[in-house]
Structure 1
Amino acid sequence: MSGARPAASLTEDEAADQVLAGALRWIEDRLEWFAPERWEEFLPRRPFRPGPLLELLGLVRVLARAGVLARDAPLATGALDLAERAASDASFTRGLRAGDAFFPYHLNLIALLELLGRPRAESRAACQALLAADAGAHAQPYKPVLNRIELRYFADRGGFTAPACLPEARALHRESIAALDPDVLQLSESETYALTHVVFYATDFGHRPLDLGGPEPTARLRETVRVLLGVHLARGSLDLLAEMLLCEAALGEGPGTDPLPAEGWNALARAARPDGAVPGPVHRPEVLAGLQGDKATAYLFGTCYHTTTAAALAATVRRDRRRPAPSPSGPLMPSADPAHVRAWAREVTTTAATAPTAVRAAWAGRIDPLLVLGVQSHDPDVLAEVLQAAEQLGRSDHPLPRRAAALLAAWTA
């Protein structure tokens, strides 16, 4: 296939397990860099100093729940030791008692320490008092729904009593972007991240089913996630690809039939460095090549830790909910390069009439993500050619192609 991505060579299980093993090896080898004071030796101070450490604790919890990591494993105990030290620091205590914009993250760190066996009674009492007083006004109805979902999730998971003005989680989920049929053709990056995080919190990272008020909105959300997975696979956006794979696993139901997740896991496995790190969106190999010693290690950590942690989370959730999945086979998703997409569309358009049924089905599953790429790049030529391919595959009357055709007509009127 012209413009196709490199062939997927591993099964979905093999690729996901390879990503997980490499990521956990890399994280454990660089555990010291999760400490705020170590980070700040070479990297800019973060607004919430233990931010990376908070992500690590969340991963440790999911790993332990899935039976991937024992509670007394070096990675778990090392992460908890670092978190206890961070929570004992005077700057953390001042930040917690300030009850400001970062209060939910202070509360979450204390809650995760307790959930993982390191309770801090005095800090917990301070968290509950501040939560009851709605310090920071985080629970107020005028605050963004994602912020309120996040606070509700942290409070419920930690066993805190939420402020009276904060609705139950289910009610908040039904007000969120995940429940409101977002226009996948025109989702911004920040809106896409908001959608993924609603899924994370609403399912407790795949531990419980999502309830959006019925099977129809949940099915529509699954399709939105499927399309976005294809979009970020084509773009090579490893951070969002990992988050979409996590959402796909968390929302999965029954045997998997879509080959896109297998392609996504193979893409992450290919992109991972030999040491196991999955490069983040700001990672630049040419910058790393000019650094040495701790400066190089710090740069690598700062630009890779989040995507590596997200990939490990996704692989763990998938492992916890493992189900039969198709092997990667047949035509693959082209890259997002306009020339590759147009070559793909022209080949589909000219050969669809005689292509085998399985190949036509594989092509049809890639139409919607490629329409998103055409719309979001505002490229009428790409969009027109993908729409022609959709017509040849009998999909021109489907909802997304119809909306994309309407946008194209409006652009060119």
Structure 2
Amino acid sequence: MSGPDGLAPSWAPLPAHARPGGAPLDEDEAADAVLAGALGWLDAHLEWFTPHRWEEYLPRRPFRPGPLLELLGLVRLLDRSGRLPKGASLPTRALDLAERAAADPDFTYGLRRVDDLFPYHLNLIALLELLGRPQPALRSLGEGLLAAGAGGHVRPHKPLLGRLELRYFLDRGGFPAPAPLPGVDTLYRESLPALRPDVVHLTGSETYALTHVLFYVTDFGGRPLGNREETAHLRETVRILLAVHLARGSLDLVAELLLCATALAPFAGGPLVRDGWTALARARRVDGAVPSPVHRPDVLAQLTGDKAAAYLFGTCYHTTLATALAAAVRAEQGEGSRPAAGPPLPCAAPDDVRRWARHVTATRDEACAPHLAPLLVLCVQARDLPALAEVLRAAEALGRGDDPVVRSAAAYVSAQMH
């Protein structure tokens, strides 16, 4: 069914893991299992983190040691949480690879370019030092270029997220920050999550930006955020977004939003957080990897040898790392809550959403109320006006017509009908 002037609904195809079966798993057991599996897989595939090995079969990345940089971030959190000290085998080997990457003349050349990748060069230098592998010559060069204002990275005209990211890297690594670059807390006040975005119209790239701002401002769960009222609002935003991407089976964002949920509300948990860990545990491969949205088992099945290994790594490493990061932060905070069971969240398919809406309209089941906002977001973003109308009727049946997300979705419908 189309909307006004042929506006057709557009629901993305669902991966198989978006339609889970069975009861949710124990949250602690699921998180521990995915962390153990992820660490085992990363250990077994460590060679693929090196730029030259990656480039044998995969497209060259703008920042060649990018995967290694992500891996060092995980090493830091594992060390901070006590789950895996930096002197253990996997962290030691990862640091060896990162040290060799920093010693490559290409790295120094990239640092001297002071282009858009300059902050990532500084971050690799800083993480190596933070983890016991200082690079004094590179650090001195980086500090000099930074102090000279090379590249203009600290200037107010540069994008907000890039400046906040740079300031976080500098503070974490002990680099002196130039005077024109405000502190993380000041920059945060101008950032996407602090400006209270309307989740109904938040894009995927904006959601990634929101998660990364929260990573930096909380130091990956290492420091509290703002005042109680602001934190409570962000917790609700993250909850809605987690449900949206859980319903879609978008495991990258499920992992990142689980990390945000833990950073904003240690020990709180809840049914949706438990369902998120269940989804990651059930979607992971038998080897411990967690597939990304671009991973296709049918494509992998047609490959052999190094080509298969490269495809597997390229389509799984980021989601596996994101999952391990979220699990490491959770391990640092301690065990989660034991939430009571609630009604399942429908997956992001129109028939499932409309079936849920009709049930709620008929029964006025208050236990279903937490799913209202994410389902409205899914319907608006799929431009499915008939399904959206049914979910809005369910909202009215539950007496939730004045909820902010309900009002935003209703305004969208009204505007489309003119």
Matches within 5 A, 1:224-235: 224-235=237-248
Instruction: State the AA in 1 paired with 2:228.
Output: P
Seen in structure 2, the aligned counterparts of structure 1 residues 328 and 240 have a Cα distance that, compared at 3 Å, is farther
Aligned to 1:251: 264
**Equivalent residue for 1:287, pick from 296, 299, 319:** 299
Seen in structure 2, the aligned counterparts of structure 1 residues 133 and 225 have a Cα distance that, compared at 3 Å, is same
Aligned to 1:50: 65
Q: Distance in 1 between matches of 2:336 and 2:307?
A: 44
Asked whether 1:403 is paired with 2:408, we answer: yes
Seen in structure 2, the aligned counterparts of structure 1 residues 73 and 254 have a Cα distance that, compared at 3 Å, is closer
Output the TM-score relative to the length of structure 2.
0.93
Aligned to 1:112: 127
Unpaired segments ≥5 residues, structure 2 = 1-17
Higher mean C-alpha displacement, 322-331 vs 371-380: 322-331
Equivalent residue pairs, number: 401
Cα offset, 1:4, TM superposition:
7.3
Aligned to 1:306: 318
2:358, 2:394 within 8 Å by CA — same for their partners in 1? yes
**Equivalent residue for 1:318, pick from 325, 330, 335:** 330
Cα offset, 1:394, TM superposition:
2.1
Unpaired segments ≥5 residues, structure 1 = none
Aligned to 1:24: 39
Aligned to 2:229: 216
Calculate the aligned-residue CA RMSD, in Å.
1.4
User: Could you report, residue by residue, the CA deviation over 1:85-107 in whole angstroms, capped at 9, with x for unpaired residues?
Assistant: 00000101111122111110000
Report sequence identity in percent. Answer: 64
Q: Distance in 2 between matches of 1:134 and 1:34?
A: 31
Aligned to 2:104: 89
2:251, 2:280 within 8 Å by CA — same for their partners in 1? yes
1:225, 1:248 within 8 Å by CA — same for their partners in 2? yes
User: Could you report, residue by residue, the CA deviation over 1:356-407 in whole angstroms, capped at 9, with x for unpaired residues?
Assistant: xxxx23x111111001001111111111111111122221221111121111
**Equivalent residue for 2:250, pick from 237, 249, 257:** 237
Aligned to 2:277: 265
Runs (4+) off by over 3 Å: 253-256
1:8, 1:329 within 8 Å by CA — same for their partners in 2? no
Q: Distance in 1 between matches of 2:277 and 2:74?
A: 19
Matches within 5 A, 1:364-375: 364-375=369-380
Q: Distance in 2 between matches of 1:77 and 1:240?
A: 29
Seen in structure 2, the aligned counterparts of structure 1 residues 240 and 4 have a Cα distance that, compared at 3 Å, is closer
1:4, 1:344 within 8 Å by CA — same for their partners in 2? no
Higher mean C-alpha displacement, 217-226 vs 202-211: 217-226
Instruction: State the AA in 1 paired with 2:28.
Output: D
Q: Distance in 2 between matches of 1:193 and 1:382?
A: 26
1:255, 1:323 within 8 Å by CA — same for their partners in 2? no
Higher mean C-alpha displacement, 3-12 vs 381-390: 3-12
1:4, 1:333 within 8 Å by CA — same for their partners in 2? no
Cα offset, 1:57, TM superposition:
0.3
Instruction: State the AA in 1 paired with 2:231.
Output: T
Aligned to 2:139: 124
Aligned to 1:140: 155
**Equivalent residue for 2:349, pick from 318, 334, 337:** 337
1:104, 1:151 within 8 Å by CA — same for their partners in 2? yes
Output the TM-score relative to the length of structure 1.
0.95
Aligned to 1:378: 383
Q: Distance in 2 between matches of 1:324 and 1:318?
A: 8
Structure 2 SS opposite 1:24: helix
User: Could you report, residue by residue, the CA deviation over 1:9-29 in whole angstroms, capped at 9, with x for unpaired residues?
Assistant: 311111111111111110011
Q: Distance in 1 between matches of 2:135 and 2:19?
A: 53
Aligned to 1:33: 48
User: Could you report, residue by residue, the CA deviation over 1:134-190 in whole angstroms, capped at 9, with x for unpaired residues?
Assistant: 222111101111100000000000001111110111100101001001010000111
Cα offset, 1:5, TM superposition:
4.5
Cα offset, 1:6, TM superposition:
2.2
Q: Distance in 1 between matches of 2:246 and 2:337?
A: 18
Q: Distance in 1 between matches of 2:86 and 2:348?
A: 42
2:220, 2:263 within 8 Å by CA — same for their partners in 1? yes
